[in-house]
Chains A and B, each alone.
Chain A
Amino acid sequence: MGRKCLDYIKELNDYIDGDLDPALCEEIEKHIGHCENCRIMVDTMKQSVKLCREGRPVELPKSLESKLNNLLKDRWQIKFGK
């Protein structure tokens, strides 16, 4: 008796991230070859993370940068006296 889809789904992150045992990887690949829902699940899980990573890089606001310089220097002086 083969594994159930739920068992495969529990392994999908490791499978997608390339952290899965090769034998189990092969088993999953075989399974998604004939299970449409698991195939869609794999594709759209991959796509979800890809989309999340596509966003614009966030930069530290310039105003915060200069505020931090003074704030941290002052704190350092309080702690170490220099």
Chain B
Amino acid sequence: MSEKELVAKAQAGDFQAFEALINANKGKIYALALKMTANPQDAEDIVQETLIKAIDNIEQFRGESSFGTWLYSIALNQSRAHLAKQKQTDLKPIEDYLPTRSADEMHNHGGHKLFDWRDPHKVLEDDELRKMIDEAIAALPVQYREAFLLRYYEELSIKEIAKIINESVASTKSRVLRARLAVRDQLSRTLEARYGT
């Protein structure tokens, strides 16, 4: 049965159709919530709240996005509510991720060279590496963390993410880039401290 048919049945009150729609997504929602909050109890609460909201508002789903994308947007709102106490900060400007303050200077004209790391598996155990990555993601401000997770864990397109976070495509693109630069920067600093020269 197609998603459209399942949605129509669920909106008419068929619980089995609703179950079929959420079964494909509830694990993903839990994973997203866990990465967003870094707290298993919060992640469980977010899954429950998301699915209850989905039931309460199922007639409002108009099929403009996939059902999964609709659930993600509810889950992100719930995650934001759990993270409301965290300050909405901004990341550094892109220039600040370059090794010198002036972008022109970066081009090998005497500027500081970036630390080159390619295979951290050589020096770190998997668990240690995983912890380092989780910490780098958790250190991202909420609005960048959600854009990064949707792009690189859920593998959604920029357009889909823009719809979920209710931002323009250009702003979403910029968030994803800056989040990726920040994660790279954080990992570089930790790895350089561990085995850099």
Residues of A within 8 A of B (CB): 4-7, 9-10, 12-14, 34-38, 40-41, 43-45, 47-49, 51-61, 64, 67-68, 71-73, 75-76, 79-80, 82
Contact = CB atoms under 8 A, between A and B. Distances in A.
A73 B15 contact: yes
A74 to B, nearest CB: 10
A38 B15 CA distance: 53
Looking at chain B's contact residues, the main secondary structure is helix
Contact residues on B (Cβ < 8 Å of other chain), bracket: 35 or more
6 contacts: A5-B103, A9-B94, A37-B114, A58-B27, A64-B48, A72-B52
Contacts of A12: 177
Interface in B117-174: 117-120, 129-130, 133-134, 137, 152-153, 173
A45 B180 contact: yes
Interface of B: 13, 15, 18-19, 22, 26-27, 30-31, 34, 40, 44, 47-48, 51-52, 55-56, 94-95, 97-99, 103-104, 106-108, 111, 113-120, 129-130, 133-134, 137, 152-153, 173, 176-177, 180-181, 183-184, 187-188
A47 B118 contact: yes
Contacts of A67: 48
A50 B27 CA distance: 21
Contact of A79 (B55, B99, B115, B180): B55
